[in-house]
Structure 1
């Protein structure tokens, strides 16, 4: 049987860290959704949207990582509920608690993998686009100015959305690992 004071400390830690994790990931998720929507709307309105086709796989992987982020948000909410349950008469076992946290670690690791691959895809596409630019500054609105294909702010926003989802999964992973360490700390 665990010490009641120790259970209260673990319960308080789970609730606090669960809330902090939940709100940080929620804020970053809202930024990701906003940027992805803005990128979708903006790229459909852009004149040269067909040249940004190389960004498609990176944005798809970013969207997939965002879906993992939604699941991670749900896991964060479950951590808060678990912290509340530890302070009640019906306590979950250490095994149930660790399974929940390990599931969060796996989801955040998968999100990190997909967002990292998406980041590489986006960066590679933008590198190819940047390497095709003519050296110097193109002044004028002639045909040669259209062939230069400068990197636009919409394309940089796609990298920003990927970076935000990558950071959100990193935050979730750090908090989950810290909570696992806290649960299994002895003495």
Structure 2
């Protein structure tokens, strides 16, 4: 007679959950990686371009700081997506000894939710400070008159900081959606 754990390891429901975890982790991994690369490149252009100009853009340091923190958390979230794929692979293994427990899997997914929410919060701080600087620059420019103060000009490098923060938010949002999807799928299965 087969033990309960051996029967559970071959159950179609467990195999379906394992496949869902693996595929969701794979999709989230690649989508978040794309957003992280775009965000990193935009921030790299903004940071290196600021050194080439004679007049540094004032006020964008805070946006760059928060974007860097958001990108660091985004790379952690990408690593966490990789761990989802591994957990799915372990669940699909016929050896029940290798299966992570449901509590361990739910705990990992909850940590993914927390990391994504923290990342969204950090990049929202960066986005808010960057938008504030860009709005201040735009309303300080007199309409139809030549600008004599180069610090009041909105440059492409300033917009790159905005792009980095927006892509960071999008990447964290994908991670949040993936973790919530997995949480719902696992929570509704015994």
Same fold (TM over 0.5): yes
Tell me the C-alpha RMSD between the 2 structures. 1.5
Contact 1:134 1:148 in 2 (8 A): no
Q: Residues of 2 paired with 1:46 and 1:117: CA distance?
A: 26
Contact 2:21 2:84 in 1 (8 A): yes
Q: Residues of 2 paired with 1:160 and 1:175: CA distance?
A: 23
Q: Residues of 2 paired with 1:82 and 1:23: CA distance?
A: 17
Q: 2:77 — aligned with what?
A: 72
Q: Residues of 2 paired with 1:81 and 1:72: CA distance?
A: 14
Q: Which runs of 5+ in 1 are unaligned?
A: 139-143
TM normalised by structure 1 equals: 0.91
Q: Which runs of 5+ in 2 are unaligned?
A: none
Q: In the alignment, which of 167, 170, 175 is matched to residue 172 of structure 1?
A: 175
> Any idea what SS the aligned residue of 1:54 has?
coil
Q: Residues of 2 paired with 1:25 and 1:45: CA distance?
A: 30
Matched, 1:8 2:11: no
Contact 2:29 2:81 in 1 (8 A): yes
Q: Deviations over 1:112-157 (max 9, x none)?
A: 111111111000011111111111153xxxxx54457221111111
Q: In the alignment, which of 39, 42, 50 is matched to residue 43 of structure 1?
A: 50
Matched, 1:93 2:96: no
Q: Residues of 2 paired with 1:118 and 1:108: CA distance?
A: 15
Contact 2:74 2:119 in 1 (8 A): yes
Contact 2:43 2:164 in 1 (8 A): yes
Contact 1:82 1:97 in 2 (8 A): yes
Contact 2:58 2:151 in 1 (8 A): no
Q: How does 1:1-187 map to 2 (within 5 A)?
A: 2=8, 4-49=11-56, 52-88=57-93, 89=95, 90-138=98-146, 144-146=147-149, 149-186=152-189
Q: Deviations over 1:159-185 (max 9, x none)?
A: 001000010000000010000000011
TM normalised by structure 2 equals: 0.90
Contact 1:132 1:148 in 2 (8 A): no
Contact 1:111 1:166 in 2 (8 A): yes
